[in-house]
Chains A and B, each alone.
Chain A
Amino acid sequence: MFKYFEPNKIFSITSKAPKYVLFLFIVIFSIGLTEALILSPEDYKQSHSVRIMYVHVPAAWISLGIFSSITFLSVVGYIFKIRNFFLISKSLAPSGLVFNIVALVTGSIWGKPTWGTWWAWDARITSMLILALFFVMYLVAWRIYENNDNDKVYKITSIITLVGIINIPIIKYSVEWWNTLHQPASINILSKSAIHTSMLIPLLIMTAAFALFSLLIFLMKYNTELIKIKNKGLDRL
């Protein structure tokens, strides 16, 4: 059964990988920042404040992606009783929360010069705030129940992700279902995007950079979890 895994084997990877990921992140992030802040053109309407988008949109994508992954891992982990999946989820969550907050804050900074307000209780912004609360709830649940000997923490965190995942399609489609102050998506996989290629490229590079950053934090967190297991003297989980 694959529910047992050997922490030692994984540990040899996770303890070496971060430095390569860090190097790659620095390279991609420097290219992304140069593209986003210097080389890319200003927008015809919002001029230089378009550059906030190169942080805002990737951060929002990554936080949605991380929450979806956490839910998938937790639910599969719960059904098949795979403890390792819960540790992966736990290690992913902090960067998800950080990018969620980054998306909210940069959105607010962009909203003031563009819309004329820092905050609006429209469906997109409110649902994104709710996602941040779910991340907090998830992390707090780990803090509280982690040291219990039984499997309570796995059940509780699974339930939190299961309830929170409903919010993900709401965030995605809020701008289509209801009138919102937030604009609809500019990037469309199936049809032509409403964003010019010269602006799409820095956006994608920044997304890659943020994904690498999440991977880096994940590896470091996951490494710590594995060390904790080793210290408990367990060679299998």
Chain B
Amino acid sequence: MYGKKVKLRFFFVLLVLITLILSIFLILKSLEENVVYFQSPSEIQLLEEIEKKKIRVGGMVKNKSISIKAKEIRFIITDFKNEINVTYSGVVPNLFSEGKGVVAEGYLKDKSFFIATKILAKHDENYMPPEVKAALEEK
């Protein structure tokens, strides 16, 4: 139906695409550790040694875990399997609150203690007006 050249060009495009997809897939797979923006407390538990370099830990701020003492703020990041204690001194974003997502950047002291140098609030995918939220909470 189509000419030989058209078929050849089609296979050429297909070949280029398959090669690219495979190589990009392999590259991303091997770089996975660096592609993730943060690690969860469970992933921290699996670390073989405590890293000296700056890392990010993310998860939920455990309910009733925030305590503010002078300039220092302490809280617990949880992924509902493992937890990690975080201390931080500085300003936290407005959306930082208990039961919400958080990403802390800083250094591990040990596997359950983290000294943060920067706190980012993580927003989830839920968008709703305040009235709807209130109605949901009543249920």
Contact = CB atoms under 8 A, between A and B. Distances in A.
| Residue of B24, B58, B103, B123 with highest tally of chain A CB at under 10 A | B123
A205 B59 CA distance: 34
6 contacts: A44-B128, A114-B121, A114-B123, A115-B122, A116-B95, A122-B37
Contacts of A44: 128-130, 132-134
Contacts, number: 118
A54 B35 CA distance: 28
Interface string A174-190: 00001111011110000
B38 A179 contact: yes
A114 B16 contact: no
Nearest to A125: B37
Nearest to A50: B127
A228 to B, nearest CB: 26
Interface string B1-44: 00000100110010011001100100010001001111110000
B125 interface: yes
Given A43-B127, A44-B133, A114 B32 contact: no
Interface residues of B, number: 42
Contacts of A116: 92-93, 95-96, 118-121
What bracket does the count of chain A residues touching chain B fall in?
A: 35 or more
A46 B123 contact: yes
| Residue of B13, B17, B127 with highest tally of chain A CB at under 10 A | B127
Contacts of A145: none
Given A115-B122, A166-B21, A180-B37, A199 B127 contact: yes
Contact of A196 (B16, B92, B132, B134): B132
